[in-house]
Each structure stands twice: as C-alpha cells, then as structure tokens.
Amino acid sequence: MKTSTAVLSLSLAVSAFAQVQPAGVTQPIVEKCGSNGSVVCVNKYSAVLPYHFNRSISNNKADYDYRNTSVGNASTWDLLGPADFVVFDRERGLQYLGDSPSYEFMFPVSSAVHEAPIYAPKQNLLFISQLAPPTGVLPQLVVDLNQNPPTLSNYTPNPPIYAPNGGTFRNGELLFAASGGIDELGGTEQRVSLRTVDPATNKSTVLLNNYFGFYFNNMDDVVVHPTTRDIFFTDPDYSYFNALTDTAPQLPAASYRFDPATGAVFLIDDTLMQPNGIAFSPDGQTLYISDTGAVYGTIAPGYGGDGTQFNTTAPRTIYAFDVTNNGTRVSNKRSFYLAQDWVPDGLKVSKEGLVLTGSGHGVDVIDDVGQLIMRIQTNYTVQNFAWTGENLSTLWLMGNNGISKVEWNITGQTLV
Ligand SMILES: *[C@@H]1O[C@H](CO)[C@@H](O)[C@H](O)[C@H]1NC(C)=O
Ligand SMILES: *[C@@H]1O[C@H](CO)[C@@H](O)[C@H](O)[C@H]1NC(C)=O
Ligand SMILES: *[C@@H]1O[C@H](CO)[C@@H](O)[C@H](O)[C@H]1NC(C)=O
Ligand SMILES: *[C@@H]1O[C@H](CO)[C@@H](O)[C@H](O)[C@H]1NC(C)=O
Ligand SMILES: *[C@@H]1O[C@H](CO)[C@@H](O)[C@H](O)[C@H]1NC(C)=O
Ligand SMILES: *[C@@H]1O[C@H](CO)[C@@H](O)[C@H](O)[C@H]1NC(C)=O
Ligand SMILES: *[C@@H]1O[C@H](CO)[C@@H](O)[C@H](O)[C@H]1NC(C)=O
Ligand SMILES: *[C@@H]1O[C@H](CO)[C@@H](O)[C@H](O)[C@H]1NC(C)=O
Ligand SMILES: *[C@@H]1O[C@H](CO)[C@@H](O)[C@H](O)[C@H]1NC(C)=O
Ligand SMILES: *[C@@H]1O[C@H](CO)[C@@H](O)[C@H](O)[C@H]1NC(C)=O
C-alpha cells in the first residue's frame, strides 16, 4: 500500500514537472514580423523549447515539418502553420524578403516528382519535367511566362527525353540530365544521359550516355561551372528504386565533371551515399553537393521498382568542396548543412551567395557558413526550383502535387 502511494505521488510529481517551462525560453517564441501573417519570425531559433515538445519522424506518407512539432505551453507556435515565410535571422531575412514578398500557389499537378526546371530567357519559358514510369511518351511541361497569368502546357522535345531529373541553361540551350533507361520510348532507345535542347527548334541531342560502355545509374542534378562551363552532375540510384530504368546500377553512386569539348568524364566524388543536388558559388570556387541517402532502396538486381524508404539518421546533408586549378580539382569535402526537414533535394546558389535547398514542404535559405536564414513553407514536397524573369528575381518551385512562385529580394546567378 505504502509503496504504491509513493509510486503514485512520484508519477504525479513527474507529470507536473513536465508541464513547467525550462528557464531560458525566449518569448514570444514565434511572432508576426511582416506586414501580414505570411511572414513570421522565430526568436533565437527556438533554441530552448518548453517541455514537453516532440517532432514526429517523417516517413514516405507524412512529412512532419518544423511547424508540425508539438510544443507544450507555446501558443505562438501556431503562427507557424499558415506562414509562407519563416524567418530565423530577422535582420538578413527581412532584407532578403524585401518590401513586398509574396508566395502564390500556381498550378496543381500530379503526385509524380516534378524536376529539372530550366528558364529560357529569350523565349521567357520555364521548362519542367515530370517523372513517372512510362505510359507511352510521358510529356514534360512548360510554363509560358509571356501570358498573364502564366499558362501550363505539355512539352515534348524532338526526339523526346525520358525522365529528365536535372536541368540547367548552358550556351543558349536547355541542358537536361535524363535519368531513365528503356529499350524504346518515343521511337528511340533511351539511356541515362546528358541531353541538350535548342529552345528555338525543340530539337534534342545527346552529349554523354555512357562511362566506358557502362550505363550511368540516374543522372540526377546538373550544373555548369560559371567560368569553365564544364558540366558537373550527380549519379545516384533512384531511377532503379523507382522503376525509371530497366537495368540495375553498374557504377557506384558518384558525382562527375564532364568536358563536352573533349568528351572526357572525371570522377569528382564517390563518398556520398546518394549524391543529389549540385551547385556552385557565383565565383565557381565552392561546390555544394547534397547527400539524400536517408531516402534509400536496394540496388541489387531483382529489386528494381521496389521503391524507397526513409531513415531519419542516414545522410541528409549538404557538403561543401573547394574547387581549384581552373575548375578541375575538387577537394576539402566538409559538412555544410543538415536539412532540418526531410532531405536536401534540389540545390541552387543565388547571386548573393545564398544556398537554397528544396527540403520537404519548403525551401531552406542558408548563408555561406551554413546558417539557416529563413524558410519558404509550402503545402507540398518541393523537389526543385528556378529563378525567372528579366532580373531573375522570381523563384518558381515545383514538386509532388504543386507548382508555386515567390517574389522576393533574392536573385538567381547570371545564366551562362
Ligand atoms: C506557460 O508560460 C507562461 C509564460 O509564457 C507562464 O507564465 C506559465 O507559468 C507557463 N505554464 C506552465 C504550466 O508552464
Ligand atoms: C512523439 O510523437 C510520436 C507520434 O505522435 C509518438 O509516437 C512518440 O511516442 C512521441 N515521443 C515522445 C518522446 O513524446
Ligand atoms: C503540418 O502542419 C500543416 C500546417 O499547420 C498542416 O497543414 C499539415 O497537415 C501538418 N502535417 C502533418 C503531417 O501533420
Ligand atoms: C535587397 O537586398 C540587398 C542585398 O542583397 C540590399 O542591399 C537591399 O537593401 C535589399 N532591398 C530591400 C528592399 O530590403
Ligand atoms: C501579404 O501581403 C502580400 C503582399 O504585401 C500579399 O501578396 C499576400 O497575399 C498577403 N498575405 C495574406 C495572408 O494576407
Ligand atoms: C518549341 O516549344 C515551345 C514550347 O512548347 C513552343 O512555344 C515553340 O513554338 C516550339 N518551337 C518550334 C519551332 O516548334
Ligand atoms: C580554364 O579552363 C578553360 C576551359 O577549359 C580554358 O578555356 C581556359 O583557358 C583555362 N584557363 C586557364 C587560366 O588555364
Ligand atoms: C539508418 O541509418 C543509420 C546511419 O547510417 C544506420 O546505422 C542504420 O542501420 C540505418 N537503418 C536502416 C533501417 O537502414
Ligand atoms: C495547396 O494549396 C493550394 C491553395 O493554396 C491548393 O489549391 C492545393 O490543393 C493545396 N495542395 C495540397 C497538396 O494540399
Ligand atoms: C529589373 O530591374 C530594373 C532595374 O532595377 C528595373 O527597371 C525593371 O523594372 C526590373 N524588371 C522587372 C521585371 O522587375
């Protein structure tokens, strides 16, 4: 009898204690800090949260964003839910948002991955791919920015390009990293390859489709070095997990440089589990590559199309590297940023040197030492994004189920 009373009073004491805030909470934790509720500021990065708090682990069916953290006795936390912009560094965040930031949901799209955005400035068109196993020739998409409001239509270059997973503008052309492999699609064999499209004619050409006879696994994201114009790309294994290629991986997951003038391919890194987003600082001296190994599958033959799982403790990190010797030596790999949501998928660096990554339901904006300045919040998983417009100051975001657009004071690097 005595013992059970003691246990009961102890458990009451523990639960009462659990309700009490720890000393050190900065109040308010979240507050409105723009002209309306679409911008909120998180004070001191919510470095101390009231107990009991708990953020559920995301899985393939549900992404529990930062705003979905349950926090005891912190009513201001609810301001995060509907906000379009969450600012962590108030001074720089509000400056980078500018006077009248806006977020607009533009087009509902299918639940397929939407990727490889490329802005063609002369035509004022934004090309976007969609990835799903083929049902004939799966079209890509194009947003016509000459229309007001912009319109979304299907797009198929000639010959068609199967499953572009990465894209960038290069020498006046669209450069796609095509991630699919199949014997016949759109009247031609398709293997994982670098492809170009002239936006004036929509004619496509192949630049690279093998490594000494081996198929690449899944060219994923692609970027052009700002001064040498060499092409850098990542080659993870997702096409096999997601049934976009009919062959099991023949090469280790790795990242490469390609010199289109000589045709030579150079390995630049083979230490990441699933290398994914890739981007250069404006001076071309820092290379960022994300590892999304937290989303993984089985590469052995016979497992193609079995899909992916999420492992919260596996890699979901952006790494930085030094690039020296006129863009030919990639060294000094270092950890740069651990995605605070899901995995860091699409990766781009702004003209100001800010590193942006699509991670779960939004885009994180990070400075060049890895400090999260702010986040765009979306209601769908963002795979990638691209700047458009005369001054490259509009950011278009795309992913599963949505395409949206942001106006702000962060601009894209000059298109080369
Ligand atoms: C909740 O927080 C307020 C201050 O924000 C504090 O006065 C109150 O004691 C807290 N309640 C509990 C149960 O911790
Ligand atoms: C956190 O929330 C999840 C989902 O509701 C629950 O399963 C888990 O037990 C909670 N963990 C803690 C420590 O509160
Ligand atoms: C996370 O919060 C948002 C905004 O409040 C809500 O719409 C969404 O359903 C929540 N997600 C989960 C997985 O609970
Ligand atoms: C936009 O950002 C630049 C720095 O990149 C800053 O000088 C300028 O003041 C900002 N504009 C506004 C309206 O905050
Ligand atoms: C907030 O203001 C911006 C521009 O000032 C506007 O585009 C946006 O729709 C407003 N949002 C809300 C929730 O009122
Ligand atoms: C190329 O495709 C774009 C986008 O669909 C279209 O506007 C344009 O007319 C096409 N050009 C040619 C030469 O077919
Ligand atoms: C750097 O590389 C580019 C492209 O290969 C070449 O055109 C240029 O001459 C090189 N510059 C120097 C200083 O070696
Ligand atoms: C998750 O990742 C961690 C760290 O890489 C690893 O130790 C663990 O075995 C992984 N779990 C599963 C189920 O793969
Ligand atoms: C996201 O919000 C827009 C409106 O703001 C809505 O039309 C769309 O259906 C929502 N998408 C999802 C996946 O909830
Ligand atoms: C681009 O910037 C110039 C110079 O600041 C400005 O005059 C022009 O209106 C801007 N264009 C757009 C579309 O915002």
Q: List 258's β-bridge partners, or say none.
A: 231, 265
Of the residues 105, 109, 378, which should be mutated to test ligand 9's pocket, given the most ligand atoms within 8 Å of the CB?
105
Distance 183 CA to ligand 4 centre (A): 51
Residue ID of nearest Cα to ligand 6 atom 2: 202
DSSP state of 11: H
Distance 294 CA to ligand 5 centre (A): 35
Q: Per-residue pLDDT for the chain (416 aa), expressed as one digit of tens each? A: 344 444 444 444 444 444 457 888 999 999 999 877 799 999 999 999 999 999 999 999 999 999 999 998 778 999 999 999 999 999 999 999 999 999 999 999 999 999 999 999 999 999 999 998 766 567 999 999 999 999 999 999 999 999 999 999 999 999 999 999 999 988 899 999 999 999 999 999 999 999 999 999 999 999 999 999 999 999 999 999 999 999 999 999 999 999 999 999 999 999 999 999 999 999 999 999 999 999 999 999 999 999 999 999 999 999 999 999 999 999 999 999 999 999 999 999 999 999 999 999 999 999 999 999 999 999 999 999 999 999 999 999 999 999 999 999 999 999 97
Of the residues 311, 312, 316, 317, which should be mutated to test ligand 8's pocket, given the most ligand atoms within 8 Å of the CB?
311
Report which secondary-structure segment, H or E, holds 93. helix 90-97
Domains in the chain, ordered, with CATH?
30-83 (no CATH), 90-407 (2.120.10.30)
- Report pLDDT for 1: 39
Distance 202 CA to ligand 6 centre (A): 6
Strands (E) located in 198-328: 204-208, 222-224, 231-235, 254-259, 264-269, 275-280, 286-291, 295-296, 309-310, 317-324
- Report pLDDT for 21: 77
Measured CA to CA in angstroms, residue 311 lies from 343, 346, 371 at distances of 10, 19, 24
CA distance 168 to 59: 30
Among the atoms of ligand 10, which is closest to the Cα of residue 391? 1
- Checking phi first, is residue 134 left (phi over 0); if not, alpha (psi -120 to 50) or beta? beta
